[in-house]
Structure 1
Amino acid sequence: MNHKRGNVWIAAAGLVINEAGEWLVVKKNYSGLKGKWSLPAGFVKPGEMLDEAAVREVKEETGIEAEPVAFLGLRTGVIDGNISDNMAIFLLRPRSQAITVQEDELHAAAFLSKAALRDDPATSGLLRHLLALEPLASLPPYDGFNPGDPFGYTKYRLYFKSSKL
């Protein structure tokens, strides 16, 4: 177990869907997802917002440039009764199409159809759950809110469902 991150882990993932409706998926070389199709994902770095981490991880792992479209959901759990493991999942729009696999971490990366993912036994449980939820509900980003100067935020973004935003 990787304890260098402490007992609270914060990660972000990006679900990138291209114009053909295919999902960008990766096969990791390590962890419980080794050999499974999953979302590009990784840990949030200091000074980074969750959606920025999702965009960065997609770029690092696959070479795909993307932009946030919406917040999809949160995966949260506790490992061994001690480690809080949390991952925010964002819907991203691709700004490029050419995949470059980061070979240090990945075995493969590809845009695959939802049918192909449903039929592939190597599709991860989280992806299967997202496929079962289709069409996905999402919360769009809102950048126009300032919580107040006393807080000292240098970046701030909301993801809430509201007809007023």
Structure 2
Amino acid sequence: MTTTTTTRTATAMTTTTINGSNAVQQRRQLLHSVESLRGRVRQVLKCVINLHIEFLVLESNVAVLLDEVRSINDDYAEVERLDRLIDTLRDYDGPTICHEWPYPLIFKGSVDKAQILNEEQLELDLDLELELEVAANVTAKRLQRSASEMTSRRKPMAKLLRFANRPGKS
């Protein structure tokens, strides 16, 4: 009986030890699984953060593109308006009010070329105005000199007054 009791006790202790080591191994496996899952969660969070950043960049790019599209639409609407105006003016048969065109028509070319020619003409006009202004200043100075020479050649006022105050002549 003692032998069976000791055998049962030893078997129970061995079973508890085996069960205890199994529990430790299970805990280690669970901890390893938890750490592995934490690592995966971190990776997923990093991916989510990177995707969020990419979405923000895309949103910004889309906003810029929308602004450009609006600008292009505005330009297109202006082009259509001008095309309608040109068509209307081409088909116009009514009375014409003539206005003097302020720019010389040298040749038939683009508007840009005409603007360049007009800028050159404006520069020439400014140069001519400057020359005229200088000539006017020179003429004014000559007139002032000649006027001062004429006044210096005149007789002094005292002599004129003396003759006017002479006794006996009235």
Interval of TM-score (by shorter of Structure 1 and Structure 2): under 0.3
Structure number with the bigger relative contact order (C-alpha 8 A, sep ≥ 6) is: 1
Q: How high is the TM-score relative to the length of structure 1?
A: 0.14
Flag the structure with higher strand content: 1
Flag the structure with higher helix content: 2
Q: How high is the TM-score relative to the length of structure 2?
A: 0.13
